[in-house]
Chain A
Amino acid sequence: MATEPAGRLSSKDLVGIAPLQAGEIQLILNTAAELLEVARRPIKKVPTLRGHTVVNLFMEPSTRTRFSFEVAEKRLSADTLNFSASASSVSKGETLFDTADNLMAMAPDFIVIRHPRSGAPHRLAKRVSASVINAGDGINEHPTQALLDAFTMQQRRGRLDGLKVVIAGDIRHSRVARSNTYLLTKMGADVHLVAPASLMPPGIESLGATTWLRLEPALEGADVVMMLRIQKERQQQCNFPSLREYFDFFALTPQRLRLARPNALVMHPGPMNRGVEIDSEVADGDQSVILEQVTNGVAIRMAILYLLAGGHGESASHS
């Protein structure tokens, strides 16, 4: 059964998947499905957010998420301002709130924030009147990634309810895994998390997922296999003996993929480490929807900007 979409989002912000209702998630997915069409037009731009200003505040390196937001903002005709940690006064010691107060003095309508500290977008959302969109905070959440992943599954399979989704990799440091687990369990999917014991956070089962310390047994009957990047920058200590050993036990190889359903989707949020968590043959194979995820990411981010763009006041008559 498809979830009935909500009429509107209940918050001015999108700080995570955890506070969303299933109906709100369905509304975002349905809106994105219509916005996909904009990318196929000769003129890939609509005037909807003319005069709206979006600040992209990226305090952590990001290429595809930042580009994806920027493309989404431009396709809706919003004006964009880009702040990155290295080039801004943050590197001179300014606090998040001081940065936010200064940004608000320029009256933006949206702040898209990527931050290394978990919870930073939530704090910012309470501080400012602009709509805050979380583009990834520490090891907490990455809601737009989970929404585009779910959107890709729904476009390909027509539903989320009842799908068996295997997410494998560095679960402990992965905001993608957390957001996906929140989202997929709310929408009725069956979530299986796979990681070596050192990278499996204790208590993660409480989110409604099944956990596995080996990849092979988890793959049986899987509709979707999502591989996560081994985040070298978040490995403070040695969680596994070597990348080679990780590949031997946890990488998605053509042999292992055959344990899943014959037409199972292969997904990866990027950037990929070929030969670490995923074999090139699988990454480039027929079952891979990795590049589709990138295209869908723009539509999802357009949908969120569109839905959050409501202001206050009377609706004008229109006929």
Chain B
Amino acid sequence: MTKGMSAGLQRVQVLDRVAMERTLARMAAEMVEHDAGPIMLVGIHTRGVPLASKLATLIEATSERTVPVGTLDITLYRDDVGPWRPAHSQPVLKRTHLPDSIDGVTVYLVDDVLFTGRTVRAALDSLLDYGRPRAVRLAVLIDRGHRELPIAADVVGKTVPTGLHEDVQVRLDDVDAECGVWIQKGGKGGNDGD
């Protein structure tokens, strides 16, 4: 794949708005099926946060249970903060908020894209500093492969095989001007907004 060449910059849609809504509904149904007990959804900043809210609304609508939603900022637990980062450009901190104690609760971590697995590793370390959940599960909208750590998702919206030099772009109404999932060919290899 060409890198950064204008000819190589193609944008291919993987999910449109309708397909995304259908996918989220299926993910919510799987989560209900999986865990009969109390669950809490915790969205990882940035786009995991609106996804967690959407999934919680869907679960509450179909199963008549209350699903608390939290947010998690993993910045202080990243493995690339410090001497590996460019000088004086630390990531901006965002809010971590857990609505309730996580002790004895099944917690679903929610993120938009599962890639290397390093974000999830940081999220696990962060979450476990707040208590001892009964279980921690992982729900992602897109699994794009290329794991660098032994981590797998429990609920996946769509598995999308990608090249290392492609970007996966998840766009959501609450954060972005458009809604859907695209693959940008010839990118730097990442999830933008990351």
Residue A49, interface by CB 8 Å: yes
User: Cβ of B118 and Cβ of A307 under 8 Å apart?
Assistant: no
B85 contacts A313, C-beta separation under 8 Å: yes
> Which of B26-34, B35-43, B57-65, B71-79 forms contacts with chain A?
B71-79
* A31-B93, A42-B129, A47-B76 known; A311 vs B84 contact (CB < 8 Å): yes
Chain B positions 97 through 130: 1 when the CB is less than 8 Å from some CB of chain A, otherwise 0:
1000000000000000111111100000110011
Report, as a range, how many residues of chain B touch the other chain: 35 or more
Main secondary structure of the interface of B (DSSP, over half): loop
A311 near B116 (CB under 8 angstroms)? Answer: no
Cβ B129 vs Cβ A51 within 8 A: no
Name the segment of B2-10, B15-23, B173-181, B186-194 touching the other chain: B186-194
Contact B87 A310 (CB under 8 A): yes
Q: Could you tell me which A residues sit within 8 Å of B by CB distance?
A: 5, 7-10, 12, 30-31, 34-35, 37-38, 41-43, 45-49, 51-52, 76, 306-319
Given contacts A52-B82, A312-B86, A319-B194, 18 further A-B contacts (CB under 8 A): A8-B88, A8-B90, A34-B96, A37-B96, A37-B97, A42-B129, A42-B130, A42-B131, A43-B130, A46-B126, A47-B76, A47-B125, A306-B76, A309-B90, A310-B82, A312-B87, A318-B79, A319-B115
Q: Enumerate 24 A-B pairs (CB-CB under 8 Å) in ascending A order.
A: A12-B88, A34-B95, A35-B93, A37-B96, A38-B76, A41-B129, A42-B131, A46-B126, A47-B125, A48-B76, A48-B77, A310-B85, A310-B88, A312-B83, A312-B86, A312-B87, A314-B84, A314-B86, A315-B86, A316-B118, A317-B190, A318-B118, A319-B117, A319-B118
What residues of chain B have their CB less than 8 Å away from a CB belonging to chain A? 73, 75-90, 92-97, 113-119, 125-126, 129-131, 189-191, 194
